[in-house]
Copies of this chain bind each other. A is one copy, B any other.
Amino acid sequence: MSIVVQNFERAEQRTVDALGESGVATVHEAQGRTGLFAPYMRPIYAGARIAGSAVTVSIPPGDNWMIHVAVEQCREGDILVVAPTSRCDTGYFGDLLACSLKARGVRGLIIEAGVRDVRELTAMQFPVWSRYISAQGTVKETLGSVNVPIVCAGAAVRPGDVIVADDDGVCVVAREKANEVLVQCAAREKKEAAVRERLKAGELGLDIYGMREKLAAKGLRYV
Nearest-CB residue, chain B, relative to A222: B4
Nearest-CB residue, chain B, relative to A118: B167
B69 touches A206 (CB 8 A): yes
Per the bound structure, the CA–CA distance linking A119 and B91 in Å amounts to 27
Most B CB contacts (10 A, CB to CB) among A42, A61, A119 go to A61
Interchain CB contact (< 8 A) of A3 among B29, B34, B222? B222
Of the candidate stretches A13-21, A131-139, A175-183, the one touching chain B is A131-139
Known contacts A94-B25, A122-B167; A86 and B136 CB within 8 A of each other: yes
What residues on B are CB-neighbors of A211 within 8 Å?
65, 68-69, 140
A168 touches B91 (CB 8 A): yes
Per the bound structure, the CA–CA distance linking A219 and B144 in Å amounts to 10
Known contacts A141-B142, A196-B95; A223 and B69 CB within 8 A of each other: no
Known contacts A5-B223, A45-B46; A88 and B87 CB within 8 A of each other: yes
What residues on B are CB-neighbors of A5 within 8 Å?
223
Nearest-CB residue, chain B, relative to A99: B199
User: A125 within 8 Å of B by Cβ?
Assistant: no
Known contacts A69-B206, A206-B69; A96 and B46 CB within 8 A of each other: no
